[in-house]
Amino acid sequence: MSEVWHNITTAQPDPSVRVIIGTGVVALLLIAWRPVWRQTRQVVTIAHEGAHGLIAALVGRKLAGIRLHSDTSGVTVSRGHPTGPGMIAVLLAGYPGPALFGLAAAFVLSRGYAVGLLWGLLLALVVLLLQIRNLFGLWSVVAFGTVVFAVSWWGSPQVQSAFAHLLTWFLLLSAPRAVLELQRSRRGGGGRSSDADQLRRLTGVPALLWVTFFGLITLACLALGVVWSGVLPG
């Protein structure tokens, strides 16, 4: 355990640009290839609902539980005033959440703490697990956490670094796609209970503007994440 703690608190050497770009390409394939995306999208849902739960706790709402479903949808239930700034903040957090988590991960990686990032993620998953209220959600978080733990415990420094970069790229690249899917669902007549539509009812601002806001935030996080990744010259 002392060795693990040393690895967590010690900066590791930066991987090569080839590794950083390669993990980005793999992440893009995991997102672009539809049969795989149906499975990997659950990671986005975990981050999305986790962001709802985090903000709910920060604004003083009582978190009543999180459910993750096999169709990659999810719901976070919190108790408190049904309107007002707190509820708006909770709804705002969902779609930008994966991108903001990815950006935070990119910042940590830019400082060389790949192992610290993985163990921090494990801690966050344990906290999230305490709020899961359905069997599939429990299985999803445990399965994802098991993969992260296996890499953190048994992986070589090179594998740990590559995996941390892969997760970071996946969050940054998948967040804009999730926003596009939201708007596609709304155009098809679905998604009327989506975060954007709930924000419309609370604020009077058209749902399309909220979707646009989500998209701009996710793209801005992706752009800054690319800068922090070190793949750009200079």
* Tens digits of residue pLDDT in 167-210: 999 999 999 999 999 999 988 877 678 999 999 999 999 999 99
- Give Dmax over CA atoms of the chain in angstroms: 55
Could you tell me the pLDDT band of residue 231, with boundaries at 50, 70 and 90? confident
Which phi and psi angles does 73 have, rounded to 5°?
Answer: -90, 170
* Tens digits of residue pLDDT in 212-222: 999 999 999 99
- pTM across the whole model: 0.95
Domain spans, the chain: 2-229
* Tens digits of residue pLDDT in 112-143: 999 999 999 999 999 999 999 999 999 999 99
The reported pLDDT for the residue numbered 217 is 98
* Tens digits of residue pLDDT in 57-110: 999 999 999 999 999 999 999 999 999 999 999 999 999 999 999 999 999 999
The reported pLDDT for the residue numbered 193 is 86
Could you tell me the pLDDT band of residue 25, with boundaries at 50, 70 and 90? very high
Other CB atoms within 10 A of residue 101 CB: 24
Could you tell me the pLDDT band of residue 31, with boundaries at 50, 70 and 90? very high
**CA-based nearest residue to 173, from 103, 110, 232, 117:** 103
The mean pLDDT value for 10-33 works out to 94
Other CB atoms within 10 A of residue 84 CB: 11
Q: What is the mean pLDDT of the chain?
A: 94
Could you tell me the pLDDT band of residue 147, with boundaries at 50, 70 and 90? very high
The reported pLDDT for the residue numbered 225 is 97
**175, 168 contact by CB (below 8 A):** no
